[in-house]
Amino acid sequence: MTRVMVVDDQEPVRMGLSLMLRRTDDLTVMLEAADGQQAIDRLEQAESLGRKLPEVILMDVRMPVMDGIDATARITGRWPNVRVLILTTYDEDDYAFGGLSAGASGFLLKDVRARDLARAVRSVADGDAVLTPRVTRKVVERGVGRVERDEGRVERDEGALRLSAAFRELTPREREVCRLVADGLSNAEVAERICIEPASVKRSVTRILAKLGLRDRVQLAVSWYKAGMDGSG
């Protein structure tokens, strides 16, 4: 049974998400919170009582007291085995990118169907990432543009060059895996695309992360776009 926490400042949203998850046989909502600080408080309380922590947190971004971005950074920094899925809408791309940069394992649109929500939670609990191709490209490219404005062209170009050089040291097959991961494909989808076993894809991703010094698939996807590798595989 996969343990889930739902964090959203709107009670009807929390109730709706919890109801969708509780209809499954393998997912259970063990905690709820109305903002990021309350989420951290409840994790600390559970830990102090010796209780198991949630494996996956569904995290809203726009909340009072502490927003989902700050909460994600603190939670993933303190409890690295707890995975966070950012809940976002089409007009909150910058927030989604901020969540990915803060350590989230992906993001979902708030109008997600129950079946897709359950599948996403299972994937993240298994160590995969949830990066839908259509939205991921828009989020990351917009976020990269914001970073470029904030950091300045020189710093941005130097960082992109370093990342690009690191990617080009990978084998052609490894770069192909990177491209597909950046497009939002799961291990199973990557395996089907390049005709290998999913377990081989998982090993390849692990090897790539080690070579590049990256934390997870989300960092890999963000770095791919930051390096300007899109289309250059």
**Residue-level length of the chain:** 233
Quick check: helix, strand or coil at residue 28?
A: strand
Residue 56 and residue 27 in contact, taking contact as beta carbons nearer than 8 Å: no
Residue 46 and residue 52 in contact, taking contact as beta carbons nearer than 8 Å: yes
Rounded CA-CA distance 139/61 in Å is 14
Residue 123 and residue 129 in contact, taking contact as beta carbons nearer than 8 Å: yes
Rounded CA-CA distance 44/3 in Å is 16
Q: Structural domain tally of the chain?
A: 2
Cβ neighbors of 117 (< 8 A, separation 6 or more) are 17, 20, 21, 108
Q: Are residues 104 and 187 in the same domain?
A: no
Q: Are residues 207 and 119 in the same domain?
A: no
**Which residues are 3's β-sheet partners?**
28
- Is residue 200 situated within a structural domain? yes
Q: Are residues 55 and 149 in the same domain?
A: no
Q: Are residues 124 and 155 in the same domain?
A: no
Task: Provide the residue range defining the domain that includes 191.
Answer: 135-226
Residue 138 and residue 93 in contact, taking contact as beta carbons nearer than 8 Å: yes
Tell me the per-residue pLDDT of 154-199, one tens digit each, with 9 for 90 and over. Answer: 455 676 788 889 999 999 999 999 999 888 788 888 999 999 998 8
Rounded CA-CA distance 228/115 in Å is 34
| Two tokens, residue 160 | 């992109």
Residue 203 banded pLDDT, cuts 50, 70, 90: very high
Residue 221 and residue 140 in contact, taking contact as beta carbons nearer than 8 Å: yes
Tell me the per-residue pLDDT of 100-147, one tens digit each, with 9 for 90 and over. Answer: 778 888 888 888 889 989 989 998 898 777 876 555 666 666 655 555
Q: Are residues 151 and 124 in the same domain?
A: no
Tell me the per-residue pLDDT of 36-78, one tens digit each, with 9 for 90 and over. Answer: 999 999 999 999 999 999 999 999 988 999 999 999 999 999 9
Q: Are residues 170 and 148 in the same domain?
A: yes
What is the CATH number for 13?
3.40.50.2300
